[in-house]
Every structure is written in C-alpha cells, then in structure tokens.
Structure 1
Amino acid sequence: MPKGKGAKGTKVTLKIAKKAIRMTRDGGRRLNLSKMGITIFPKCLLKLTNVDEVDLSRNMIQKIPDNIGSFSSLRRLDLHSNKLESVPESIGNLAGLTHLNLSNNRLTSAGLPSTLGSLSSLKSLNLGLNQLDTLPPTMAALESLQELGLFDNLFTKLPEFVKELSNLTKLNTKRNPLVYAQADNEGMLKGKCEPEENVYLVHESNLCRTCFKSCKEQRERLCEGGGGGEGVMCEDKRIRTYRGLMVPNSVAAVNQDVWRIRKVEHKPDK
C-alpha cells in the first residue's frame, strides 16, 4: 500500500507504480491502482512507456492531465467511480486505446471532447452513470466500437449517428429519460415511454435460429403497424432495430455482461 495518504490523498511515486505492475495472461503489463484514495492523477505514470493497461477506478480523481495523449502504449484505461467532470482533448491521441471506462463520474456533455472520435481502435466505451444528454457527433467515426454504455444519464433521445456504428453489438441505455413518439387516433403525440428492463442491442449472429425467427416476425409486425390492431409503433422499438442488430438479449446465445457499476464504498454511518 502506498505511503503518504492524508488530507490530500495518496501520493503515488514512479517507484510505487513500477512495483504495482503485473503481467497479464496475454503477456501484457497491467498497472492496478484501484481504491487507493488517489485524488490527483499521478503524472509519473506517463513515463511508464511499456504499460498496456491502467486501472485507476474507485478513487477521487477530479482531472485527467492534459498530456494524457502521450501515454502511447495504453490499450485499456479504467477511470470509473472517480470525480471527473471533463476529459482533455489530447485523449484523442491514444490511437491504440481499445477499452475506455469513464462510468460513475460527473461528466457532462460539455466535458466530452470532439477528439473522442479519433480513437479509431476503440472497441468498448462505458459512459454510464454520468450527467450526459448528448455525445460529440465526431463519435460517428468510431467504426471499431462494439460496446457502448450510456445507462443512468440524461438522454432524452439517442444520437442519430449511433445507428451508423456498423460494428456495435451491445448498447446499454437503461434508466435514461428517453422520450419516444406515441400515437393516438388524432395524430402523433410525444411522451415518455419506459424502456424495457435488461434489453440490449444484440447482433443477429448471437441469436439461436428460433429466437432469430421470432424477433424477425415481431419486427415485421411492428413495421407494418400490427400488434393487436393498435397501429402504433413506439420509437423505442425502432431504436432497437438498427441495421444488423436485434433483440431481445434474454434469449441470446451469448449472455451479455452486466455494465452497471454499484458503488458500495463510503457508505454513511447510521
């Protein structure tokens, strides 16, 4: 355990960081500094040019250094459960980054840089449990993105470009105040429509043959205005029929991971 923990938080030196590096099963080098009471991002970590993964989750970090983009060896960066309010533009220089977890922070849409769209190798991006209502349009360029977590935010509608992310197979939008189009006999009205629990976008290749047929028939009925003669197609149904993506995941051949991070530390005393 690092020394020097006090009112200003734990101080991590380069020596301490080097001792915390471990080899991963695939031969990479992982630095785990989770739950260390760190309040300031240790800039000395940027000197570790041979580290592939950095875990700084469950700390109290308020800011990512502006020169984070110089951490060129980084492939995975986990900063969930901190106190971040923004992300520096230089993060777009991390061309090799494949996994980025920024969930359970204090991020607002104004704090997300347009350079997120430059992370061409990014496969997984978790932005859940923040204060976001929009995403940078430049993220439409994230052609490698497969997993996107947007749960527990302030989205009233999903960004249009999400439909065009051709490799996206998992999207979690649970617990957002999404507004969907609803219809009555006199015309279209807008209103809130509670999303179904435990529903994700799932690629059709992950469904068994029976479930694929069932989902396809259901989608066709919705598109034709069927479903008991109601003639209504709620927009949340359309949202979950992006090209190459189908629902529900409850019958998918491959189980989906649980994205939600439950913060259990720092419980108030009774």
Structure 2
Amino acid sequence: MPKGKGAKGTKVTLKIAKKAIRMTPDGRRRLTLSNMGITIFPKCLLKLTNVDELDLSRNQIQKLPDNIGNFSSLRWLDLHSNKLESVPESIGNLVGLTYLNLSNNRLTSVGLPSTLGFLTSLKSLNLGMNQLDTLPSTMVSLDSLQELGLFDNLFINLPEFLNALTNLTMVNMKRNPLMYAQGDGEGMLKEKSEPEENGYLVHESSLCRTCLKRCKDQRERIRTYPGLIVPNSVATINQDVWRIRKVEHETLK
C-alpha cells in the first residue's frame, strides 16, 4: 500500500484531515480517520494542534511519531486495533488527556514508557489485547484514573500500585494467566482456580418473568446483571465487553 494512502487509495492530506474534523455535542473538535487502511502516521496531522479528539483506530499503524506530544490540546486519543509495538516517551506531554485507548495492538511492557505516569488527568485507559506482563511503576501517579482495561494480556500478578489509585472503580483483568498466593507459609504462587461449575452469565432482559424470579431465588447458580457496560470507542468487534465489578457488587446486594 502506498505511503499515506488508505484502503481505497485516498491520500490523507492536510486538506482531507481538516474536512474530517467535526464538532462533538460538548463543543470539542474531533478528527476521525478510523478504518482507512493507514499504515504510516500522517505527519500532516501534527499541524492540527487545535484538535481536541483524535480517532485513528482500526488502521495498520505500526509506529507513532516521536513528537506525538505536540498535540498539546488533545483530551481524547483512540488508537485501538492497530499494529503498535511501542509508545513514544513524548506521550507524557499530553497532560490534558482524559481518555486513551491502546487496546488490540502489539504492545509489550518494554514498549510502554515511564512517561505514562505524567498523564495525571487520565480517567480511562484501555491497554487490553496486547502482550503486557507489567506496567510502569510511575502509573501510581494517575490519581484521576477511573477505568483500566488490562484484559487479554500476560499478567501473572496484579500491578501493585492499583490499590493506591483511590478513584479507580472499574478494572478488567479477564483472560490473563493470573496467579495468587496460597496460604502454605511459603508464599508459593498457584494457578487461579477455575470459575464455579454451573455458573452462567445471563442478562436480565433475556429472561421471562418466571425465570427471572427463579434466578433471583437461586443466585448461587445463575448471576444476573442489570447491564454490561461497554466504554466508548473500544474495539467491540474484536474484544469482549468489560465486566464491571462494581455492577456485579451492586446487583448481588
């Protein structure tokens, strides 16, 4: 595929990018270039420093420019479903960023810079569907973080700093090879136990009134949820929905 061209041969120029900018309901300038077959980050985008939101998801981008931090006004950045193996250190300059989606890429722990800890305004961070087994310890500074997606990675242990993030209410660690310490006095790590047998996940809207009543009377066998929450612009085509522990806790009250 020619440099700077999309799946249909459309060259991503500054003019095209400007025409793709739309105002969001809350008055922000969003540039959407999703699913265009882009393989190389269009350098012309770096001239659009007044863009508040940037969506480059579902492309084939392998590398971000070292000066990605020049988007000083960015508040929302979606790069899910690309081929990224690392993130530039300059991403730490995006101190106003509140939403960052890097899910469904090829990121390794070595490719995550310590400067992620500078993004203290982040409220939602999605790192699911990568090849991560650790996170930068500097992320303990992300005091504003509320949602964290780490599903479909290689984590054996939970990141130690998670307990220090007081505003963190939603965490997805599904499908990781998590281990936990057995009380054998030696601190040995064992494989996490399998889900309880005869346990099913059922949405309340799928049940008739009789079945719903029966389920509520037998919660030890069937768990019901009033809603399964999916965050905006997460790769819903390629990844499972987020299971929110908070929702489960409130439902089982």
Same fold, TM exceeding 0.5? Answer: yes
Q: Which amino acid aligns with 2:50?
A: N
Q: By how many angstroms is 1:44 displaced? A: 1.1
Q: Residue 111 of structure 2 corresponds to which residue in structure 1?
A: 111
Amino acid at match of 1:190: L
- 2:237 aligned to which of 245, 248, 262: 262
**1:58-81 alpha-carbon deviations (Å, 9 max, x no partner):** 000000100011100111000000
Query: What SS class does the counterpart of residue 148 from structure 2 fall into?
Result: strand
Q: Deviations over 1:127-165 (max 9, x none)?
A: 000000000000000000000000000000011101100
Secondary structure, aligned partner of 1:115: helix
TM-align CA RMSD: 2.8
Equivalences for 1:112-131 in 2 at 5 Å?
112-131=112-131
What is the aligned partner in structure 2 of residue 95 from structure 1? 95
Segments of structure 1 that go 5 or more residues without pairing to the other structure are 200-248, 265-270
Match of 2:191 in 1: 192
SS in structure 1 at match of 2:182: strand
Alignment of 1:1-150 (within 5 A): 5=5, 11-150=11-150
TM superposition shift of 1:49: 2.1
How far 1:261 sits from its partner (Å)?
Answer: 3.5
Shift of 1:257: 2.5
TM-superposed deviation, 1:45: 1.0
Check the 8 A contact 2:49/2:70 in 1, yes or no: no
Q: SS in structure 1 opposite 2:171?
A: strand
Distance 1:103 1:182 in 2: 32
Aligned length: 210
For residues 16 and 155 of structure 1, do their structure 2 counterparts lie closer, same or farther at Cα, with a shift above 3 Å needed? Answer: same
Q: How far apart are 1:11 and its partner, in Å? A: 3.3
Counterpart Cα distance in 2 of 1:156 and 1:134 = 9
What percent of counterpart residues are identical? 72
1:121, distance to aligned residue in structure 2 (A): 0.6
CA distance in 2, matches of 1:58, 1:150: 19
TM-score by length of 2: 0.75
**TM-score for both structures, normalised by structure 1:** 0.71
How many Å apart are 1:27 and its aligned residue? 0.8
Aligned AA (1:256): I
142-151 or 37-46, which deviates more: 37-46
Task: Assess if the C-alpha contact under 8 Å between 2:41 and 2:65 holds in 1.
Answer: yes
Query: Match for residue 175 of structure 1?
Result: 175
- Contact map agreement 2:69 2:94 (CA 8 A) in 1: yes
Return the alpha-carbon distance in structure 1 between the equivalents of residues 91 and 200 of structure 2: 31
The separation in 1 between residues aligned to 2:14 and 2:186, in whole angstroms, is: 64
Distance in structure 1 (CA, Å) of the matches to 2:95 and 2:194: 35
Q: Residue type matched to 1:100 in 2?
A: L
